[in-house]
Amino acid sequence: MNLFLKNGQTFSGQHFGAEKDVSGEVVFTTGMSGYLETLTDPSYYGQIITFTAPLIGNYGVFDEKTFCQTVDEVYESKKIWARGVVLAEHSLCPSHELATQSFDAWLKKQGIPAISGVDTRALTRVLREHGTILGSISEKAPTQFEDELQGRFVPEVSPTELEILEPENFSGKTIAFLDCGAKNGIFRNFLSRGIRVLRFPFDSNPFSSGQKFDGLFISNGPGDPETCHETIEVTKEALEKDVPVFGICLGNQILALAAGGKTRKMKYGHRGFNQPVQEVQQKENCLITSQNHGYEVDPDELPADFEIWFKNLNDGSVEGIKHKTKPVFSVQFHPESCGGPEDAKYLFDTFIKTL
């Protein structure tokens, strides 16, 4: 089995997982663990994930019967959204008392093909040099690569109707949650804090729904933020109405676009659990964060009434923005820490205090 890249390069390895060919955008992630959370993150829709860690699958795969009451407490959604997996090595004998199946068996069950034995160090160098690139996991090289990267991915991962999530201990506050492909960890963080969540599809308008809420949240999700026209328009309305707003990842880019800013595609993006960010106004405050994105906010096009809140300490890219006077802000990283560090969890409380 081979990984064929659109630039003509080929990486050989051994097939495992599902028996089928796939194509997608080849990206890399630097997380050394958390492969369950990574693969079930809807933001990876349409992508073939290269894990830079040398061994994946060593603690196996859990299910709801042995690990918790509901699978939503383990995974970030109910299925794998990535199209394929590329590894240096996968564990044939997982070791964990709660594991119920191997990584290979899980991929087979989910219908996801994978390839191991790949020189992932060399592949990552290619992706860093040339940027993310279309690729295919298959026996034979495809005659052509269909460029699917210009499509709208968010409609594929967003819910189709309103869902109301009730916390066990209601605090009296409710948020309108625009779900562009949200991770379950975000819902858990709001519900554990007593916040009632109105989970809207990405193209719904909470202001015309008849529902009452105290603030607007914009979730993470896959693809180009400029294609989320409906979500951008709702965010503009929230800014006009002076409603508290909080965005994560794609939500950070959507807020910037709604405010009149611009976004741009990154060369190879940020994917992993070890990205250092710094709060601009408090330089002593450095956070280690979980990230998964291929687009960024253009710092040179930020409106005058917004300021950069966080920046990435590796490349200086924008990691968060906030309005200078209103309770409106967003971050490019994932404060829900699924998986990854918990440095930024306090941002949920920061938002809730504005409701």
Distance CA 63, CA 46 (A): 25
Structure-derived torsion over alpha carbons of residues 265, 268, 274, 275, reported in degrees to the nearest 10 = -40
Give the residues across from 197 on adjacent strands: 165, 175
Query: What integer pLDDT is reported at residue 285 of this predicted model?
Result: 83
What's residue 75's pLDDT? 80
The structural domains of the chain, with segments of one domain joined by +, span 2-138, 154-352
pTM of the model: 0.92
Q: Say if residue 172's pLDDT is above 70.
A: yes
- How far apart, in whole angstroms, are the C-alpha atoms of residue 27 and residue 82? 10
pLDDT at 245: 98
Rounded to 10 deg, the angle between the 229-240 and 250-258 helix axes is 60
- State pLDDT tens for residues 243-255: 999 999 999 999 9
pLDDT-derived band at 66 (thresholds 50, 70, 90) equals: very low
Confidence category of residue 282, pLDDT binned at 50, 70, 90: confident
Q: Is the pLDDT of residue 69 over 80?
A: no
Q: Tell me the catalytic residues.
A: 249, 334, 336
**Rounded-to-integer distance, Cα 235 and Cα 29, Å:** 30
Is 90 exceeded by the pLDDT of residue 198? yes
Q: List the beta strands (DSSP E) in 105-244.
A: 113-116, 133-138, 163-165, 174-179, 196-201, 215-218
Question: Which has more pLDDT, 100 or 111?
Answer: 111
Q: What's the mean pLDDT in 107-129?
A: 96
pLDDT of residue 183: 93
Q: pLDDT at position 63, please?
A: 73
CATH 1.10.3720.10 fits 2-138, yes or no: no
Q: Using the predicted structure, report yes or no on whether residue 71 has a pLDDT greater than 50.
A: no
What are phi and psi for residue 53, nearest 5 degrees? -65, 140
Decide if domain 154-352 falls under CATH 2.30.30.100. Answer: no
CA neighbor of 252 nearest in space, from 231, 279, 281: 231
What mean pLDDT is predicted for residues 274-296?
92
Q: Does 65 have pLDDT greater than 70?
A: no
209 or 143: which leads in pLDDT: 209
Instruction: List pLDDT tens digits, range 5-41.
Output: 999 999 999 999 999 999 999 999 998 888 999 999 9
pLDDT band at 99 (very low <50, low <70, confident <90, very high): confident
Asked if pLDDT for residue 115 goes beyond 70, the answer is: yes
